[in-house]
Structure 1
Amino acid sequence: MRIAIVGPTYPYKGGGAQHTTELAHRLRAEGHDVVIESWRAQYPAFLYPGQQTIDSPEGEPYPNTRRDLDWRRPDGWIRCGRRLREVDLVVLAVLSPVQVPAYLGILYGLGRRAKVVALCHNVLPHERKPYDVPLMRALLRRVGGVDGGGNGGVLVHSEQQAALARGLTDAPVRVAALPPHLPARSPGASGGREPYGRLLFFGIVRPYKGLDLLLRALTQLPDVGLTVAGEFWGGLEETRALIAELGLGDRVELRPGYVAAEDVPGLFAGADALVLPYRSATASQNVWLGHEHGVPVIATRVGALADNVSDGVDGLLVEPDSVGALAEALKRFYEPGMPQRLRAGVTPVDPEPYWTTYLDTLLLLPPSPST
């Protein structure tokens, strides 16, 4: 099958780019003829406040990649669609409603010549703007043919996201868990070492990820420190002010900015546990990333986080949006022998079953058009 994936890849960074790249490699390994249609300019800087690109790839770049798409050039969107008229399947990797105008331009150029799947990492953002719903409705209806478009469907990563998608389109919606697409594998750490008394919060810092809850909970554990490593999408000065207000200045290390892949193992090696105090979530690689480095994970019961943590075996689960509940979980984690026991229970994820299911589900969408 001739397949085109439209989405970010190297030199773009982060989970979306890693997923697009891994998906292309795996489809090619299955014998398909795959091209990635990627970006030379994906977002206006004011809509993506973090670092967009990197100098060194986070994994093996995909060789058959075009990097022509530009958010400032609608004519290029249409040309891309026309170029893809000869492929059998077009996969649109949807990470943000900001991409929708470009994707609608591609669909306009494509016409009805190919099957189309909208692969939605998030159907709607965690922190929504007024234009998000109408943009995503326009895309998903167009993919499904409701507004004169193609014969396509939608792939999402959880039942909750499927419900959101079905509220926006009558197109077929299928669910497959987001498979592991970790940038590098690392041998798990030993389960026997004594705890350091330091926790890790890792990744892009946004309000829905609950760093403020973790900082407030930390005040109830006087001998425990915290490293916060990742890009701040706003709120850095407010976070510093909160740390000072709570008297945590000597226990919290802020490392704002993108963490390069080669620096990740060292961060996890110095942590007793990775803490994911999210208020909401869809799918996240961070549980698997922690386990890949031999680190237990303390996470809230939101999205797919709870599916990937075995409470009391390789981590702890806690109810979301509660400083008190999170503090109790942290205290439980530091009970005598608990850090060692949970660390000993950590097992790196086997990606193969996830990817087998994922590719099977993707290639089932959309259904073949009637003739």
Structure 2
Amino acid sequence: MRIVIIGPTHPYKGGITQHTTQLAHTLCALGEQVHIESWKNQYPARLYKGQLTVPADQPEMPEFPNVTRELCWNRPDSWISSARRAARADVAVLVVANPVQIIPYLTMLPLLHHGGATVVGLVHNVLPHEHSPWDRPLTERFLKSVDLVVTHSDEQATVARELGAEEPLVLDLPPNLDPQTVPPLVVRSDQASPLRLLFFGLVRPYKGLGILLDAMTDVPQAHLTIAGEFWSPVEETQSQISSLGLDDRVVIRRGYVPTSELPGLFGAIDLVVLPYRSVTGSGNTKMALLFNRPLVVSDIGVLPAEVKGGVGLTFRSEDPTDLARALLQAANPTTYNDLAQHVAAVSHSAEVSWKSYAQGLLERLR
């Protein structure tokens, strides 16, 4: 089939960009004819407080060769020209990272349907974690207008149905990266030895960093690295760290972490913690397992299922006391080493996962 994916690719950064790029590579490897219609200016800068792109000469993964980069959020003429090119394909996949992109997509949809393309809405978050008044009506109209909706969890599929999607396709979110360097497993021998924790990714209120900091006051062996871009004032986090007496146990590494530095980052820690208050799906669970690290996650959304099979522990969401209990449990050498062995037993092949993901999409389309 001739497939056009309309979504972000290099030099944009991050998980959704990596996902778009890997999907294109995998579909091409399966014999499909693939083109990416990407963004030149994805959305107003005020909507994304972090770093939007990586250096042009430092792609996060092999670049996809067949790309047009002309879409601009504030240029309707670019929406129309992109739609006209995409309408020649058999399938157009519209990647939704933020509801603001639905405005261009709604303009493009009549042209895509007129050209005969089957339109797929690939929705990473059906509704964003931090809502705006226009999110629900825009999303509802979009989901009712496309031919197929793809989500990455049963929970998100339920939300999509409530907004008008018919029979959403649920595909398990694959890991975006297939690292060449994987840190060795950690072996703990002492309950009191430092338990090195990692909070990774965007620092936003719904991700619950404050809950983790509160929990650390009851886990004296816990040491934390915070690695990511802050969407709230970093001074607020630094103030909480100081007020809790954690200055000597918390390191803040501000800014986006390039993929080349991920093996070193994960190799220097024991445990990845996701204290989320809200979640629709998280590539960080896959990332932890790719780099041989167990997890402690809140008991909401898809997260408990991500640690089934003994690769992690759960705690009651928004409960620092229960998070401290889980961290102390993980600090126990017997428990930690058992978690690590289960992580080692998990298949880390991103290639296998991506092939299954792409085949699931193609089977539904055919």
TM normalised by structure 1 equals 0.91
Identical aligned pairs, as a percentage?
A: 46
Letter in 2 for 1:315: G
Aligned residue for 1:346, secondary structure, equals: helix
Aligned residue for 2:343, secondary structure, equals: coil
Work out the CA distance in 1 between the residues paired with 2:268 and 2:351: 29
The unaligned stretches of length 5 or more in structure 2 are: none
Aligned residue for 1:62, secondary structure, equals: coil
RMSD of aligned C-alpha atoms? Answer: 1.8
Q: Is the 8 A contact 2:188 2:337 kept in 1?
A: yes
Q: Is the 8 A contact 1:162 1:175 kept in 2?
A: yes
Matched ranges for 1:137-176 at <5 A: 137-143=140-146, 152-176=147-171
Aligned to 1:210: 208
Q: Give the length in aligned residue pairs.
A: 358
Work out the CA distance in 2 between the residues paired with 1:362 and 1:206: 31
Work out the CA distance in 1 between the residues paired with 2:10 and 2:351: 23
Q: Is the 8 A contact 1:283 1:304 kept in 2?
A: yes
Aligned to 1:119: 122
1:191, distance to aligned residue in structure 2 (A): 4.1
1:363, distance to aligned residue in structure 2 (A): 2.4
Letter in 1 for 2:218: Q
Aligned to 1:149: none
Work out the CA distance in 2 between the residues paired with 1:8 and 1:336: 43
Letter in 2 for 1:12: Y
Q: Does 1:292 align with 2:295?
A: no
Aligned to 1:82: 84
Q: Structure 1 residues 300 and 186 mapped into 2: Cα distance closer, same or farther (>3 Å)? A: farther
1:237, distance to aligned residue in structure 2 (A): 1.9
Work out the CA distance in 2 between the residues paired with 1:240 and 1:250: 12
1:80, distance to aligned residue in structure 2 (A): 1.0
1:104, distance to aligned residue in structure 2 (A): 1.4
Q: Is the 8 A contact 1:78 1:107 kept in 2?
A: no
Aligned to 1:147: none
**1:296-353 Cα deviation digits (max 9, x unpaired):** 1111222322222136x32212221211110100011112433333223323533355
Q: 2:245 aligns with which of 247, 251, 261?
A: 247
Q: Is the 8 A contact 2:92 2:120 kept in 1?
A: yes
Aligned to 1:308: 306
Work out the CA distance in 2 between the residues paired with 1:239 and 1:361: 42
Q: Is the 8 A contact 2:122 2:149 kept in 1?
A: yes
Letter in 1 for 2:97: L
Matched ranges for 1:216-255 at <5 A: 216-255=214-253
Aligned to 1:8: 8
Q: Which runs of 4+ in 1 moved over 6 A?
A: none
Work out the CA distance in 1 between the residues paired with 2:149 and 2:163: 11
Aligned residue for 2:224, secondary structure, equals: strand
1:205, distance to aligned residue in structure 2 (A): 1.0
1:365, distance to aligned residue in structure 2 (A): 4.5
TM normalised by structure 2 equals 0.92
Matched ranges for 1:261-340 at <5 A: 261-310=259-308, 313-340=310-337
The unaligned stretches of length 5 or more in structure 1 are: 144-151
Q: Does 1:98 align with 2:96?
A: no
Work out the CA distance in 1 between the residues paired with 2:194 and 2:265: 13
